[in-house]
A and B are shown apart, each in its own frame.
Chain A
Amino acid sequence: MNLPLHAQIINLCAALLLLLAFAMLTQRRIRSLINLFSAQGLVLVISTLTVAYATHQTHLYYSALLTLVLKVMLLPWIMHRLIRKLNVRWDVESVLNIPATLLIGIVLVIFAFNLAAPISQFSDTIAKSTLGIATACIFLAFLMMITRRKAISQVIGFLAMENGLFFAATSATYGMPMVVELGIALDVLVGTLIFGVFFFHIREKFESLDIHHLEKLKER
């Protein structure tokens, strides 16, 4: 195996993304969860910059900048502020226990790798082999949304899923068109703000952020 250096760096970033996705899956504290999300964003920025440098795609520099501002700085800051205001510092409760979640996670990773293998053969980008990891990241974020009870960690799962999608886009096709990317970035930002408002309403109604309370249709 003799890949060029930038391909190796992208592969390393992909591996780190997967590692961070698993770390988020096992993390019990909400604050650490947000820090991990921010770290995932940073790895994403580095890999996007590497792809941009290696392939001379100038628009990727802009999307890397967008990711840096939005996912590494702005969104974590908003989440930290939300947590301070909502006063939810306690541990995250998950539906399944953590070892079981990890085992399901490994199965998902194997599934994702097999799923992506035939697709990445048709791709001729430098980072084609990372498509499997990007798919695995999406699945893991999805798993996190399913297994967590608190609304905030579900939103972080949603944002992490967007990270995975973004990585899949850069690795398979050198990124989406700028308009689409800007649209998604705006969506994510507005989505988080709206979720923030929702959190306040959920808490006001049920005095808790546990989604479990939303399952009953009738009021008492």
Chain B
Amino acid sequence: MNVASGIVFQILQSVLVLLIAPLMVGWVNQCRAWLQNKSGPGIWQPYKVLNKLFHKDAVLAHNASPLFWATPYILFGSMWLAGGIVPVLATSLPFAPAADVIALVGLFAFARVFIALAGMDVGTSFGTLGARREMMIGFLAEPAMLMTLFTASLISQSTSLVTIVETLGHGDLVIYPSMAFAAAGFVMVLLAENGRIPIDNPSTHLELTMIHEAMILEYSARHLALVEWAASLKLTAYVTIGIAIFVPWGIAQAGDWAGIPVALAALALKLTIAGAGLALLEALSAKMRIFRAPEFLGTAFMLATLGMLVHFLLET
């Protein structure tokens, strides 16, 4: 693989992730609307919202520190970086050695710390409340996430996502029972980390139960747009990590131009199904009380642990 085509692939994938992230959110919202017998805003709505927000004037609170206005850029940057590291279109990209799965979890944690600090920065009660809840969910979700990823790492004997994809996707087709556990745990972590329904409702404002929305209440205009965009990038990054680990078929090798159409088609198909499935899960479950969240994430952690145990029992 020569360096130039690797860089072209990297740029291609990063731009693609950036562009499809709002579409992903739009598709999930559209599916949710359909499942609730509503007509729905259409899948292009997030782009319209972003466009509207970028054309407004930003308002900052008087006591906001530089941290407050820097956070949207940090969030957006780290989520975009995560989107560039995960093998969405192709493996062995130039960025990929920058971070293995553990560093990716660290990247998400980094972004979470900043958004929580920004939520507390202005000093409104809602922001503080949201930040504390976010940190609680985060510290419960992180070990579960790591355990799920370790199950995949044990099979491919590497924590690098590229190696995992190559072992699972390009090797012989083998059924790994431990991956069933890991997948169940991963879906639960995905729901919790992205503020989806059993833990948080993404479509509420000004309610006592909200988590993510409570932290970003003080943001407006371009800052809000970047935070929203970062949230959709985070959702896309999680879904693509899930795809890379659990259904990696079709991801091309870097420098392999012939594999690109297949990879694009496979990605579109997988994201469509994943989005519809996410909406279905959200439509089927009810929002939990916040004190049930430890139980939910404890179950996710247990599933991931069981996945590792089953791996040792059945697959070694």
Contact = CB atoms under 8 A, between A and B. Distances in A.
Interface of A: 1-3, 5, 8-9, 11-12, 14-16, 18-19, 22, 26, 98-99, 102-103, 105-106, 109-110, 113, 129-130, 132-133
15 contacts: A2-B172, A3-B174, A8-B174, A8-B175, A12-B180, A18-B306, A26-B299, A102-B299, A105-B302, A106-B306, A106-B309, A109-B309, A113-B313, A129-B313, A129-B314
A99 B312 CA distance: 24
A11 B177 contact: yes
Most buried by A among B178, B298, B302: B302
B214 interface: no
Interface of B: 172, 174-175, 177-178, 180-181, 184, 294-295, 298-299, 302-303, 305-306, 309-310, 312-316
Contact of A133 (B174, B298, B299, B310): B310
A1 B315 CA distance: 7
A99 B298 contact: yes
A22 B175 CA distance: 21
B316 A133 contact: no
B181 A98 contact: no
Contacts of B181: 15, 19
Contacts of A130: 314
Contacts of A26: 295, 299
Contact of A19 (B184, B295, B305, B316): B184
A109 B313 CA distance: 11
A158 to B, nearest CB: 23
A109 B306 CA distance: 8
Most buried by A among B181, B313, B314, B315: B313
B314 to A, nearest CB: 5
B61 to A, nearest CB: 39
B299 A15 contact: no
A170 to B, nearest CB: 16
B302 A1 contact: no
B175 A9 contact: yes
Contacts of B310: 15, 18, 133
A26 B316 CA distance: 29
B218 to A, nearest CB: 34
B302 A102 contact: yes
A15 B314 contact: yes
Contacts of A110: 309
B174 A1 contact: yes
A176 B315 CA distance: 27
Given A11-B177, A12-B180, A19-B303, A102 B314 contact: no
Contacts of B314: 11, 14-15, 129-130, 133
Given A15-B177, A22-B299, 12 more contacts: A2-B174, A3-B174, A11-B175, A19-B184, A98-B295, A99-B294, A99-B295, A102-B299, A102-B302, A106-B305, A129-B314, A133-B310
